[in-house]
A and B are shown apart, each in its own frame.
Chain A
Amino acid sequence: MARPLLAVQGLKTHFHTFAGVIKAVDGVDFALGQGEIIGVVGESGGGKSVLGFSIIGLIDPPGRLEAGEIWFDGRRLDNLGEEQLRKIRGKDITMIFQDPMTSLNPLYTIQDQMEEVMKLHDNLNASQRRQRCIQLLKEVGIPEPESRLKNYPHQFSGGMRQRVIIAIALTLHPKLVIADEPTTALDVTIQAQILKMMRGLVKDHQTSLMLITHDLAVVAEMADTIIVMYCGRIVERGRNSDIIRGSRHPYTRGLLASIPKMTGHQRRLQQIPGMVPDVRSLPPGCSFAPRCEFSQDRCRAEAPRLIGVDAEHDVACHFPRER
């Protein structure tokens, strides 16, 4: 890969609460090339959303970036001030949130909300802005965009709102879009429409996409590379096929096996025993060891580092499974 668009090295985001330090992101490295889609998967509490927020500088106290570097397009982001970050947010890096019901302001028309980024970062006149809004709404598949501009968010369905949010995120042709569970709140037929549209837009504009989701099937269909997170760390990282078909980490394998298949028949599903540990008191050694059927003494004593097992395929496990 040529110089990646986004490179995250040793990132640690910790939350200092009265109940203890929550290591939401604890030493994460990855790189994302231009026009590439990276899928970040894991269960709730895995740190995947905090990772997204950390990149765009949206971590509020008691959260803090403890260590690590975030390089975006040749600039270092993690030590930028709020003023400078604001010039990047909404222009070069945009974010799509999970809940289409709450991420639009109910008191403004969608035209107002769409034009906001243009006013902040671009100097178009009123009629140019309106034209751009109409063109964007067309791109995301909203019928009769001219007549919808003056509508308020409550006049749109969930799927349509998410389209508006995607339109806003793409307004200024950002280099990177961070989408945090963009289709989780939507129905499956709408999800298919939105994912197809997002994939098309990303590939057309050579935008990079960081897709954060708990849904392995969505990632399997969308992503070029996949990161699997567990308790704030990357447990496995690789190209789509490496993870979906050739995963080596017991957690990734367990997740994949626990999803009912659409073909063939199984009487029982394979399950991962136990549950995600409390992030405030993680076990020493590998966080997954208490639930792992292959764990040995070494796993409980020493945390595994992310080690390459193949070209572009890394696993954090002392005893990676055979292919």
Chain B
Amino acid sequence: MRLLEVKNLEQRFDVSPGFLERLKFKDGRVRAERTIVHAVNGVSFHIDRGEVFGLVGESGCGKSTTAKTVVKIHPPTGGQILVKGEDITHHDYRRMLPIRKKIQMIFQDPFASLNPRQRVRDIIMEPMIFSRAVGTKGEAQDRAMDLLRRVGLGPEHADRYPHQFSGGQRQRIGIARALSVDPELVIADEPISALDVSIQAQILNLMVDLKDEFGFSYLFITHNLSVVRHISDRIGVMYLGFLIEVGTSQDIFQAPKHPYTRALLAAAPTIDGSRPIDPVEIRGEVGSTLSLPVGCCFQPRCPLAFGRCTEEHPEWVAVHPGHQVACHLFEPGSH
């Protein structure tokens, strides 16, 4: 059974202004049109136990919204979310509580994600006490101390406040808090992009070690290609709210198929000057999720686009089992 399965997830936000501002005269009639952000459009993927699934894409591509929708911080507007086979799409607050214990998050900004008025001890204990994961407060204390040690801090840090720590140390506290309720899935949303280069490696190593030790899974969200390659077993590439390619880390980096994936890999600067095979150079900028392009989402920037791309939305094509791409170029029968 899959730990997490997401089917056709859809997230739309209505950002329309007030009714009077929306009134427009169009085609001989007065209309009140809505403004909809199509943040996530039919995203499907799954995560197995002990696996690291990386979501990669540029800012605004919907990777963070996907994560937040999975834990229902934003209730999904379409699709299905299954956690260990249990459909949680329509769970209310109360029924979500045991699910939230299984899925924890680590956030990007270690300066904003810790309550500045709580001691480190209380920050780590709060999820345990809230979800009744421990019997007594003493038990929670012991576990908090143990977690502090495991993330590379000491008991002497327990009574300090977040402002007394550096960015890297705060991220360690955030990790300890996420692990306090023994989650099965940890969603890490750009956990290292706010940190200095030398600290990034420390936190990445820590995250890998903890995963090996506790055996949970990661949904790892980042815009950094070398990081996603390093940590992920499987990777999904997103563009404009669509998932456009899914495969193992090796599939995506050794044999990328989608023109956008190839462009993304070609654009990333590298230390060793290595260039990916089959690079694609793109021009222009990411479109708007307010009005999605007709046909393929990437078609306006794609140098390889042809007639069909502007007409129909591409379906998933399996390049080989486990490696799927949403691109007309790979459909059987197309050149």
- Asked whether B230 lies within 8 Å of A187 as measured between CB atoms, the reply is no
Q: Is B274 a contact partner of A263 (Cβ separation < 8 A)? A: yes
Q: How far is the CA of A273 from the CA of B229 in the complex (A)?
A: 23
Are A266 and B197 touching (Cβ within 8 A)? no
Which residues of chain B have C-beta atoms less than 8 A from A255's C-beta? 197-198
Which residues of chain A are near B223, meaning CB under 8 Å?
187-188
Q: Write out the residue numbers on chain A whose beta carbons fall within 8 Å of the beta carbon of B97.
A: none
Known contacts: A258-B197, A262-B225, A275-B168. The answer to whether A218 contacts B269 by CB under 8 A is: yes
Give the tally of cross-chain contacts (CB within 8 A): 108
A113 part of interface (Cβ distance < 8 Å): no
Question: Which B residues lie within 8 Å of A269 (CB)?
Answer: 201, 204-205, 230
B112 within 8 A of A: no
From residue 182 to 202 of chain A, which have CB atoms closer than 8 A to chain B?
187-193, 195
- Assess whether B267 is in contact with A216, with CB atoms less than 8 Å apart: no
Instruction: Assess whether A191 is in contact with B208, with CB atoms less than 8 Å apart.
Output: no
Inside 8 A of B168's CB, which chain A residues have their CB?
A: 275
B58, B230, B263 — most chain A CB neighbours (10 Å) = B230
Let me know if A262 and B198 touch, CB within 8 A: no
Q: Is the interface of A mostly helix, strand, loop or mixed?
A: loop
Number of interface residues of B (CB under 8 A): 38
**Which one of B26-34, B70-78, B281-289, B319-327 is at the interface?**
B281-289
Interface of B is mostly: helix
A residues in contact with B200, CB < 8 Å? 258
Contact A188:B268 (CB < 8 A) given known A267-B208, A268-B205: yes
Give chain A interface residues in 159-194, CB to chain B under 8 Å: 159-160, 187-193
Residue of B with least CB distance to A230: B198
Instruction: Check A195 against B196 for contact (C-beta < 8 Å).
Output: no
Whole-angstrom distance between the Cβ of B300 and the nearest chain A Cβ: 13
Given A187-B59, A217-B271, A262-B270, CB of A193 within 8 Å of CB of B283:
yes
Report the count of interface residues on A (CB-CB < 8 A): 40
Counting CB contacts under 8 A, is A220 at the interface? Answer: yes
As a 0/1 sequence over residues 35 to 60 of chain A, the CB contacts with chain B under 8 angstroms (1 = contact) are: 00000000110000000000000000
Q: Let me know if A139 is at the binding interface, CB within 8 A.
A: no
Contact pick for A270, options B201, B264, B272, CB 8 Å = B201
Q: Is B273 close to A, CB under 8 A?
A: yes
* Interface positions of B from 267 to 308, Cβ below 8 Å from A: 267-274, 276, 282-283, 285-286
**What 7 A-B pairs are tightest by C-beta distance, nearest first?**
A260-B230, A258-B201, A192-B267, A217-B269, A187-B58, A271-B201, A272-B198
Cβ contacts A to B, 8 pairs, < 8 Å: A188-B225, A189-B58, A191-B267, A192-B269, A221-B270, A260-B229, A272-B198, A273-B202
